Amino acid sequence: MDIRNIAIIAHVDHGKTTLVDNILKSSKIFRENQESGDLIMDSNDLERERGITIFSKNAAVTYKDVKINVIDTPGHADFGGEVERVLKMADGVILLVDAFEGPMPQTRFVLQKALGLNLKPIVVINKVDKDNCRPDEVHDAVFELFFNLDATEEQLEFPTFYGSGKQGWFNDSLTPTDNIEPLMEGILKYVPAPKVSEGTLQLQVTSLDYSSFLGRIAIGKVTRGSIKENQPFSLVQADGTIKKQRVKELYVFEGMGKRKVTEVLAGDLCAVVGVEGFNIGDTIADFENPEALPIISVDEPTMNMMFSINNSPFFGKDGKFVTSRHLRDRLIKETEKNLALRVRDTDSADSFLVYGRGILHLGVLIETMRREGYELTVGQPQVLVKEIDGKKCEPYEILVIDVPEEFASKAIDLVSRRKGEMILMETKGEMQHIEFEIPSRGLIGLRTNMLTATAGEAVMAHRFSEYKPWKGSIPGRNNGVLLSKEAGETTGYSLDKLQDRGFFYVDPGEAVYAGMIIGENNKPGDLVVNPNEGKKLTNHRASGSDAATSIAPKTLMTLEECMEYIQHDECIEVTPNFIRMRKVVLDENERNKLAKQMKAQDA
């Protein structure tokens, strides 16, 4: 059977998953009366809630007797590791670009990886139905991007399609049609059939699936030979060890699901059941003469966080998995499929250092764990510092901000305070497009401040650039926090009296404990307050003092906002139903002692 393997790559929110929806609907894999919904491939709860793709997924459609394997990839820079490994399965890529925004940081990152693997690109300029779109300028910008990334002559002659995923049409000109057939024809015409070399079986595991019935399932592309049901094979691992095993079942992708088969030939993607103890990057090879494929290399993590057991007074009240053994097993299991993640043991048996690509990457892991019933404490995110040529170096990122003109000066001021340097500023329609080079540390906590300063209008994106010399100290949070003095339930009476001190993260009637952060102070420096005090009930009434209390509702913080908010002496308690911020040392006297010791050491 004729096959095409294609990955869809783009910056976040440029319409990858909507394009996959259109491909699935155009190939009639749903019945006429079947309700398919939108963003069909974003099946995970977290993906649907956030409206982003986190995990890459496979689907397969048949068009004019040609099987097209489609790989949907994430667009966030934090999930770049996910994109890097699945590109190994593709022979061509559809580079999707927004007709207004043009190429963005993540577009550059994933395109560079695709061109490096010599994949054939097709450029699709999406959202041409939007007001103030500029498809011709964007086409020129994409060509310039290809040129800057040292694309070959052949890659520079990329075909371009225009259209609107929302309206369900794509064409090789700006003339609207009523379907996406021109694009499907383009895939058949421009994407090469898989290159198949002669020889014995080779299949690199580039992804994995899990089934409660079948266990872990290895997914990859058969690059050489063929694989059959019940066939013995050798599993060649990264360190060179070879395990002899046997295939139990074989599946190929069909529509949104999988179909069981007895043999898969070179060039097709398949799922293999019965492979034990494999990792992503291992090679399933011939039983007699195993030959390994090159190991998948993934960029290094740039950030780490301390994960510990929950040791707050509310330990064990909410979660199902609370011990360090539970925590360690879950983190090790995550590293099997999350290639950009690393886990290291620390001096304490209860704490582990987890390395990741960014706040969102680690935040999604924590959010997934709390939904599974885990209780844990996480510390402030830290960037990874390296020594290069005897100099202390830290990771830098290219930060791109699109902001209305009247807020441009505020955006530049905010980034400059965090040691960012402006490298480009240009006008895009009604927006100012500004690019900075900024230490990764400077990005922590920047998004919230930026959205506040620009009335929510700023669009930010960033990608890792390189390690450069340390830039000195970067100012953190300006204000201190309000801390609870003792355990108990907050009262409306007490919170009402404290409102002039700051704003709160708790409502009346919530359980708190000593050392827990219950609000933000209006001034620098932390303040210990008593939010649990009730009104003294005497038989004397002061006139007018019994008026109803009017308390501002609590400020809600997402997990990522909490991660960006906390300082080095604070941490976040995460349980299935609560996210609480607290001091690492809960006792006020102990905290003061430690602070004095630290001052003495500095002096």
Q: Enumerate the domain spans of the chain.
A: 2-190, 202-285, 386-469, 481-537+547-602
Give Cα separations from 483 to 172, 514, 570, 583, 592 (angstroms).
61, 7, 11, 8, 14
Dihedral of the CA atoms 577, 579, 582, 585 (nearest 10)? Answer: 60
Query: What does the angle CA 403 – CA 404 – CA 405 come to, to the nearest 5 degrees?
Result: 110
Residue 532 is assigned to a ligand binding site: no
pLDDT single digits (tens) 333-343? 888 777 778 89
Average pLDDT over residues 193-219: 82
According to DSSP, the β-strands at 382-383 and 303-308 are antiparallel
E strand or H helix that includes residue 456: none
Residue 549 is assigned to a ligand binding site: no
- Residue 142 φ then ψ, to 5°: -65, -40
pLDDT single digits (tens) 372-422? 999 999 999 998 898 888 899 999 988 888 888 899 999 999 999 999 999
pLDDT single digits (tens) 468-506? 999 888 887 888 999 999 999 999 888 888 989 999 999
pLDDT single digits (tens) 518-549? 999 999 989 999 998 887 777 665 544 544 56
Residue 346 is assigned to a ligand binding site: no
Give the homologous superfamily in CATH for domain 481-537+547-602. bipa protein (2.40.50.250)
> Which three-class secondary structure state does DSSP give residue 34?
coil
Average pLDDT over residues 57-73: 84
Residue 602 is assigned to a ligand binding site: no
pTM of the model: 0.80
> What is the rounded radius of gyration, in angstroms, for the C-alpha atoms of the chain?
27
Rounded to whole angstroms, the Cα distance separating 127 from 164 reads: 5
| CATH no. of 386-469 | 3.30.70.240
**Quick one: fold of 202-285?**
Elongation Factor Tu (Ef-tu); domain 3 (2.40.30)
Residue 13 is assigned to a ligand binding site: yes
Residue 16 is assigned to a ligand binding site: yes
Average pLDDT over residues 230-252: 87
pLDDT single digits (tens) 137-177? 889 989 998 888 888 888 888 899 998 888 888 888 888 88
Residue 14 is assigned to a ligand binding site: yes
Residue 591, both tokens = 């905290």
* Beta strand residue intervals within 470-556, DSSP E: 481-484, 488-489, 502-504, 511-512, 517-521, 527-529
Shared fold status for 2-190 and 481-537+547-602: no
Residue 126 is assigned to a ligand binding site: yes
pLDDT band, very low/low/confident/very high, at 54 (cuts 50, 70, 90): low
Query: SS3 letters for 297-315?
Result: CCCCCCEEEEEECCCCCCC
Strand order in the sheet with 169-171: 57-63, 66-72, 2-10, 92-98, 120-126, 160-164, 169-171
> Given a cut of 70, is residue 30 above it in pLDDT?
no
Query: What does the angle CA 151 – CA 155 – CA 156 come to, to the nearest 5 degrees?
Result: 75
With contact defined as beta carbons under 8 Å apart, do 144 and 123 qualify?
A: no
The architecture (CATH level 2) of 2-190 comes to 3-Layer(aba) Sandwich (3.40)
- Residue 471 φ then ψ, to 5°: -100, 5
Lowest-pLDDT range of 13-22, 301-310, 316-325: 13-22
Residue 17 is assigned to a ligand binding site: yes
Give the pLDDT of residue 355. 92
- Under 8 Å CB-to-CB from 165, ≥6 apart: which residues? 15, 18, 19, 21, 22, 126, 127
